[in-house]
Structure 1
Amino acid sequence: MLVLIGLAVPVGAISALVAKGLLWLIAVITNAVFFQRFSAEPGSLQHNHLGMWIVAVPVAGAIVIGLMARYGSEKIRGHGIPEALEAILLGRSLVEPKVAVLKPISSAISIGTGGPFGAEGPIIMTGGAFGSILAQLFHLSAAERKTLLVAGAASGMSAVFAAPIAATLLAVELLLFEWRPRSFIPVVVATLVAWLLRIPLIGAGPIFPAAFHAPSGWEAILIACGIGVVTGFASGLLTALVYWCEDAFGRLPIHWMWWPAIGAVFV
């Protein structure tokens, strides 16, 4: 276990650097395609001057992503979390090095050109890929590779969202499937390292700052229960809709390389 804890430190550090690079690349691509400038400062798309040409930007980005997936690696397709699960359950936690490079680049292109996505899926897959690669370099067992893969995924989320506790719990629930100290402790170490490095790299505040006014009393509890029920049903409906769309695209008589471009037309 000491070996895994020691390796969890560089895994967390690498994931923090990757998270910083992903957010930087998203901002650079957004500024380049929508404002024709080289800058990493975040900006609002409503201030662009593309006019009607703005509808072509997501389509162009989707075409590039389709080409990268077909001629680079099919592993960059998907949301991120399902691919990490597949690597653990079916691939013995083995991830190809090129996935660690192509996944963040393709995700940054997708998000930067207006794709309606977030950084959580890409950073989970990318951080997990680096954890798996490091485990392969040290010729660790499949169980140890899984631990470092999950550590990379969790530390990536910790660095992006400044939420080490939530990232750890999510990774343990979705990817680790156990609470044994030999697996849990390295994940915690990696997420804490990534969170600490996030402060000088990205900042100490949350990625979505908001002012909270916590109500109290039974009314607040009832409101919270109602919100939970509504969001639960909405989440189930959204999940079913996503799978329905995936099945619908699978029935199209064209190569899957063009599916992102077709979806981008509707975006």
Structure 2
Amino acid sequence: MWRRSNPGLFVTSCFVFALLVFIFVYPLVAQQDPLVQDIANAFAPVGTSGHILGTDNLGRDTFVRLIYGLRTEIIVCGAGTLISAVIGTLLGILAAYFQGATDLVVMRVVEIILAFPNLVFAMLIVSLYGAGNSTVVAICGVVFIPGFARLVYGEVLSLRRALYVESAELFGGSRWQLISGPLLRGVGPLVLAQGFLTLAFAVGLESGLSFLGLGIVPPSPSLGLMISTGQQYFMQAPAQLLIPSAVLVLLLVAFGYVADWVRDLLDPRGAEKSKRKAGPRQVPSFQVTQGVSA
């Protein structure tokens, strides 16, 4: 993994995975309630004993709420990303493989979904079904389908002309065997890399909805809700706005780096790219001498 990827991407990805493990393990070990209020210690500054990142307007520990909020973000947005990846990959493969009427219908539906701005579409769904975790999962599962479908569609069109796919067809492979075999394995690395990138977009979308009061319902913690609350009390405690905002930005950037690392690691053409970046090998030079050999 170190040789086939950029060292910076590798280190960043390892840090992100370690952070995800910490986010899910810490609540099981610490067992602290992020909803416990202590009005007497409201707006405690960063570094206060027992509150490493201070407290909010209701005296709730910011560090604990940040951990629980990140866990909620990853679970909700990860579920929505998984749904969009499965549906989008299936639609892209079917449209590119069968083409004709299937291509026309599937890709037109994808383009209709793509025509709606994500935030506007999300607000429409929330207005119909109400805010909540399940609504956010459904929103992320729908709005990000076009990204996967278009990516897989283009890749499958090129894979259909690959020699190993044509060989499988000549040897009598059924359509299902071709789709679930070489085609699905061929688009797998791209889908996985796109999944991490889409997860970053989903976290950003969910944070925006929660900031507007249309995402995760209070008092459950989330980054968007913490940013919204911190904005109201910015003059009293600036850290309550700056800390979740910085965490959100770093999380989005980190998932982008993870997507690049996964693509470099799993892309079968990654080795050739690394060789080209390394430059041409130096060939030893030989001097031609004149004379009669012994």
TM-score under structure 1 length normalisation: 0.38
Higher normalized helix content (fraction of residues) = 1
**Structure having greater relative contact order (Cα 8 Å, sep ≥ 6):** 1
TM-score under structure 2 length normalisation: 0.36
- Bigger CA radius of gyration: 2
